[in-house]
Amino acid sequence: MASLEVDLVATDGKVWTGTARQLIAPAGDGEIGILAGHTPVLTILREGEIRVYPEGGGPVERWHVEGGFLSFDDNRATIVVDAVSRTASASSAH
């Protein structure tokens, strides 16, 4: 299955980087879900939760962010956030 590269970047450094099969982020007008092969998109994020489903299963990575933006092209997602904190990674329900 195709996968996407995800970089989560905060002002003072990289927070997380890895491959994922799906990414869900709180875009300006509703949550945006990104799978591999999505069209290039540049969207602002509002406060909310980012969920990254790592490739090959494993627990879902969750972060609470306070706004930022997301750019996706060529199966590479860069999430740039102002402030980020990891929310308790609940057991992967998906």
Partner 1 sequence: MAGLQRVYKQRIKSTQALKKMFRAQELIAASRIGRARDRVAKAAPYSRAITRAVSAVATHSNVTHPFLVERTDTKRVAVLVIASDRGMAGAYSASVIRETERLVERLEREGKQVALYVSGRRAVSFYTFRGRDIEGSWSGHSDAPSTEVAGEIAEAILDAYRAPADEGGVAEVHVVYTQFVNMVTQRPRVIRLLPLEIVEGVAPADDAETLPLYEFEPEPAVVLDALLPRYVRSRIYASLLQAAASELAARQRAMHTATENAEDLIRMYTRLANQARQGEITQEISEIVSGADALAS
The sign of the dihedral angle between the CA atoms of 64, 8, 67, 60 is: negative
Counting contacts by CB under 8 A, is residue 37 touching partner 1? no
- Of 35, 24, 61, 30, nearest to 46 by C-alpha is 30
Residues touching partner 1, count (CB under 8 A): 26
Taking contact as CB under 8 A, which single stretch among the options 34-42, 52-60, 85-93 is the one that binds partner 1?
Answer: 34-42
- In terms of CB distance, is 10 or 65 closer to partner 1? 10
Counting contacts by CB under 8 A, is residue 27 touching partner 1? yes
Counting contacts by CB under 8 A, is residue 47 touching partner 1? no
The span from the CA of 38 to the CA of 20, in Å, is 13
Q: How far is CA 29 from CA 25, 32, 37, in A?
A: 11, 9, 21
Binding residues (CB under 8 A) for partner 1: these are 7, 9-14, 27-29, 32, 39-44, 67-69, 71, 73-74, 78, 80, 82
